[in-house]
Amino acid sequence: LGRMCGRLTDEMARLNALRVAQEEYSTIPHSFVFHRGQVGRNVGQLVMDVRRVMEPFTARSLKVRKSNVLKDFVSVAGPLGVTHFVVFSKTPTTVNMRLARLSKGPTMYFKVLKYTLIKDVVSSLKRHRMHQQQFTHHPLLVLNDFGMEGMQVKLMATMFQNMFPTINVHKVNLNVIKRCVLLNYDRVSQEIEFRHYSLKVVPVGMSRGVKKLMQERFPKMSRLEDISELLMKGANLSESEAEQDGEHNITELPQVFSGRGNMCSEQSAVRLTEIGPRMTLKLVKIEEGLGEGNILYHSLVSKSDEELQEMLKKKEVKLKQKEERKKQQEQNIAKKREKREENKSV
């Protein structure tokens, strides 16, 4: 009897954990990143790099065929819980990117003015920090200067925010935050700078030699006569290991952070290393639906607030008419069923 109770308890715990996992999965945004048409090798690699940024909540090995149309991705996205599409395309003169929210939109069209692949960003660094453990958790999203007036700016900020899982600042475990995505909006040029960083936290208030001793790899001390030379002078340390910290990146940790010396309520420096990809985007237009519908914003065509309100009112009227027609059809079907049953009884 005791064994049966134990098995029953384990099974209930397993089912409860499965239920919680399913609920969390349904609340987290997921994405498909793919291309349409002929894009070439570089843009194809950019698609793979953006998938890397969106990990782990994206289809890393998504296969795209020439015969696939957008409806194919939409039909597959529903059962998998996919909430966003990131679609790249290329013309003879420009590279374009679409962001779409499933299943009723909106769809945002961007022009990719400039881009740099991960391999190019990493190759330009003397020491890069990029490893597989960084991609087991989603990145931290930082939006800069998206608070200005304008419907299109607010819609862009909302779209970018909904593409990444929300973070509870009071409950989040800082040790799982290893990456950061920065989106900076330039009010003058109306361009968006996309950057992807690796995040590292190191203790401050120590000499370079002590910091070196705190790391897993110890420095070579064969040329030193005494350990004090390492602690006082920081011998055998390269300049890249002695990054300059200041008020801009020093903070007090609210909890213990992974790494030697990062203790709770102690001063530590947050260091960012760019790992790519890098993009410069410019919004072209915003459509209501999923690739079809009224144009809410166009960079080349200006609409007043009154025109937008009038357009939204017309959309609401159409939706109400559609609902009324659907109700009328259901009532007609119900009446036909009643007549059939009456005729059968007679």
Q: What is the pLDDT of residue 239?
A: 37
CA distances from 242 to 23, 30, 218, 250, 270 (A): 45, 39, 15, 15, 14
**pTM of the model as a whole:** 0.73
Query: What is the mean pLDDT of the segment spanning 100-123?
Result: 92
Across 21-25, 56-60, 286-290, 341-345, least confident range: 21-25
Q: Mean of the per-residue pLDDT values for the chain?
A: 81
pLDDT at 173 over 80: yes
Which pLDDT tens digit goes with each residue over 3-50? Answer: 666 666 767 777 766 665 566 667 889 999 999 999 999 999 999 999
Q: What is the pLDDT of residue 238?
A: 38
How far is the C-alpha of 100 from the C-alpha of 31, rounded, in Å? 10
Q: What is the pLDDT of residue 237?
A: 42
Closest of 47, 50, 78 to residue 63, by C-alpha: 47
Q: Return phi, psi of residue 160, to 5°.
A: -65, -40
Across 219-223, 255-259, 301-305, least confident range: 219-223
Reported as a pLDDT band with limits 50, 70 and 90, residue 231 is: low
Reported as a pLDDT band with limits 50, 70 and 90, residue 171 is: confident
CB burial of 296-335 (b: ≥16 within 10 Å; e: otherwise) equals bbeeeeeeeeeeeeeeeeeeeeeeeeeeeeeeeeeeeeee
Q: Which residue has the higher pLDDT, 50 or 125?
A: 50
State what percent of residues in the chain have pLDDT above 90.
35
pLDDT at 325 over 70: yes
Q: Return phi, psi of residue 96, to 5°.
A: -120, 155
How far is the C-alpha of 317 from the C-alpha of 312, rounded, in Å? 9
